[in-house]
Structure 1
Amino acid sequence: MSDYPNLNKELLQCIVAEESILHNFFTTLSEQYQTNRSEITLKNIAKYMNARGLYNEPTNRSLWKALGKLEGCNCGKRIKGSRSNVARFKFFYDMLDLAEIALYPDNQSQEDSYRDVQAETSPEPTVETDDVHDNDWYSHSLLLRRHYDFNIELPFKFTESQARRLSDLINSAVMSEDDEPDELSADEIDLTFYLDAQTPIDIALPADLTQSESSRLSNFCHSLARVSDFDGF
C-alpha cells in the first residue's frame, strides 16, 4: 500500500465504520470499478449504490453531505454541478486503495501487487481542470491480462445504451470453449464500434478473448457510462 502522508487513515476508518452511507459508498467503489478513476459523478455512484440496494434517496443531498466528511480526511474534494459541469468527487489518491483502507483496515495487502501493476501500466485519465464539457473525449485503459491493456477513447457523454451495445460487440468476439488454447496468444483482432451512425470507434481485442475477460470488459464499459447531469447546489 502506498504511503499517503496527508491522508488521515484513522479518521477515515472511523467515519466509514460509523456512517453507513460512506461504508456503502466504498463498498460500491470496490465492487463496481475494475480500475482507478480520478473522479466519479454523484449520479453514477448513486445509481450503482441503488442497484445494489445500498442507497435509496429521492435526491443526492445526503450523499453530497457525507462525501464532505471525506474531504476532512484528505481523500479528495467535492466539485459542485453547474450548467456545463456535473457534480462529482475528485480523488487525491488511488480510488481502489482508499476503498481498501476504509473497508479493511486490518487486511490491506492481499491485492496490492495486482493493483500496483494496474496503476503502473493502465492508469485512468486524470482530469486536470474542473471544466468538463459534454463534447470532451477521454482515453480509458484496463489491464485485461498481464502485459496487455485494453484501450478505448470515449466521449464524456457515453451512455448506458451505448455501453450495452459495446458490451454486445465485445462478447461477440469471445472464442468458443472448443477453440480455447492452452496458452494465450499475442494476436489481436480489430473491431469497429459505432457510437452513432456518424462516429465509428476502432478497438483492438485479443484474438483469443476469453469469456471471463469479456465479462470484465463489459463491467468496465458500464462503469464508464454516464447518466443525466446532477443539479448543483
Structure 2
Amino acid sequence: MTHRIVFVEDDADLAELISDFLSRHEMNVLIDPRGDSAVDTILREQPDLVLLDIMLPGKDGLTICRELRPMYSGPIVMLTSLDSDMNQILGLELGANDYILKTTPPSVLVARLRAQLRNHHPETPQAPAQSSSLRRLAFGQLEVDPVNRDVVLDGEQVILSTSDFDLLWQLASHAGEIMKREDLLKKLRGVSYDGLDRSIDVAVSRLRRKLGDNPLEPFRIKTVRNKGYLFSLSGWE
C-alpha cells in the first residue's frame, strides 16, 4: 500500500534526497518548500502523513502545526535540526505526533513514519460498505452511494476524501443512532480510543463544512454531549 505524504522543507537537495528514499519504501511524497503555503497544500491534498520542518520561509513549522491540527486528523511529524528539549516539547504540545532530528538514520526515519501510519491508517481497516448492504442511502436531498463512493447534496456532487467518505458512511448507515467516538475510531482506524484523541472530532467538523452543516448549531451531524455523534434523519430536507 502506497502512502501519500506532504513534506514541507525549503532545502531542495535534502527534500529530494529524503523524498527519493521514502519513495523506495512505498511513500509518495509531495514537497512544499514554503511555510506560508503549507496549510493550503495539506488541506487540499489530504495526505496520509505530514512531514514538517520548523525553519521555513513565510511561516515556521510550529505555527503551521498549531494552525493545522484542528483541521487535519492525520499524523504530523516534525523533522528538524533543532534538537532543544523546549522545541520538542512545544512541537508535541502543539499537536505533532512525533519529533525527529534530521541526523536520524534514514532507515530509522522510515520505521518511525511507518509506525505513525500504522496507528492512523491500519493496513486492513473495516471497509465501511461492509457494515451494511451495498445499497444507496438517501435522506431528503442527500444521496450516498457506497459502490461508487459518490455523495450528492441538493443535486450537486460533494467531493470527499477517502477518510471523509468512510466517516460519512459510518454515520449515515447508522442514521438516528448515537455513534460513540471510540466506536468510530475503532471502525475507521482500527485503534482504541485513549480519551485524548480528537481526530474524530476534527474529521466530523471537516465533514460538517463540506455538507453545509451549521458549525455552531449543527443540525445534520449533531453532537450528543458525553456520548458521541448523531446523524440526523431530518436534517436533509
Q: What TM-score range do you get, normalising by the shorter chain? A: under 0.3
Greater relative contact order: 1 or 2 (C-alpha under 8 angstroms, separation 6 or more)? 1
TM-score, normalised on structure 2? 0.27
| TM-score between the two structures when normalised by the length of structure 1 | 0.27
